[in-house]
Amino acid sequence: MELRQLRTFEAVVAHRTVTDAAVALDLAPSSVSEQIRTLERDLGVALFERGPRGMRLTAAGERLRGWARRLLDQADQARRDVAEARPVLRLGALETIAAVHVPAVLARLAERRPDLVVEVRSDGARDRLLDAVAAADLDAALLLDTGEDLGGLGFGAPAAPLAFLDLDPVPLALVAAPDHPLAAASRLRREDLYGQRLLVNVPACSFWLAGERLLGDRVERVRAGGVPVMRAWAERGLGITLLPWFAVADRVAAGALTRLAFDVPGLSLRLVWRADREALPGMREILYASAASEAVSEAAGETASETVSEALGLPPPADHGAARR
């Protein structure tokens, strides 16, 4: 059993077909197939069920999945330790929140662990971020969600041991042009919005999903585009739109938009990671540093580390910055 075979195994698990795994690994499909067959011969078990819809893990394959990730992680740790390389943490983030929320996370990480190298990957697709975390291509990802379970907003999560922690609230606002017929109402009910044009992006968009939960199907959807496009169209009176408050606050203050008098539940900035990777060097630091906001600490009347320790069910990490402070 070789490390390269385990990496190939993980790629087939993540991409579900030999061809797609070969593209991801920059290998020939025949090389990927041979490595999987060799691994199965060495272990004496079938790891995949081959079918017209791709490769599905057998029970033995499911057992190897966890072992493969741990062995590859240990190999990477050994390589960094021997080479005295700085530890690297790979953080993904939705493009919508990358500019506003990620800098604060990076600042807290830099203060707590200045030795860490943080690589940030922003993506407009939530599914790609979650799949990357599940496949251990990312150590953690920041996205928008709500509820007590991952995907409470209305999206599916990959079949992996994913854990999450809500870091900060993300208020939403229903906005329209100042001369919109609903702008002067002192209070709006759901029925008042029926028949209105709601400017949206794509069905997988967090704000589309939030609108589905809030308004149902009695409001006409008009495909506009990303946040800047929805905001611009709303300013021009082409409809109403549901967006994060941070994206429209300045336009409301400038009088270009009006916040409609409709109660809108907010979302949460959610950090997602693989629970079976919490013990990796540096992983807890990104969890603690990401969650070390004053709001979290003050709400609990504790230090940030104590608060997150309770949330994660883990002992607090060693304080690498104590000597420097």
Q: Give the tens place of pLDDT for each residue, 166-213.
A: 988 999 999 999 999 999 999 999 999 999 999 999 999 999 999 999
* Angle between the N-to-C axes of helices 283-291 and 102-112, in degrees from 0 to 180, rounded to the nearest 10: 120
- What's the pTM? 0.69
Tell whether the model's pLDDT for residue 230 goes beyond 70: yes
What integer is the mean pLDDT of 82-86? 62
Distance CA 3, CA 9 (A): 10
Q: pLDDT by residue (tens digit) across 290-316? A: 665 443 334 333 333 444 445 445 444
Phi, psi of 293 (to 5 degrees): -90, 155
Tell whether the model's pLDDT for residue 248 goes beyond 70: yes
Q: Which residues contact 15 (CB under 8 A, 6 or more apart)?
A: 21, 23, 24
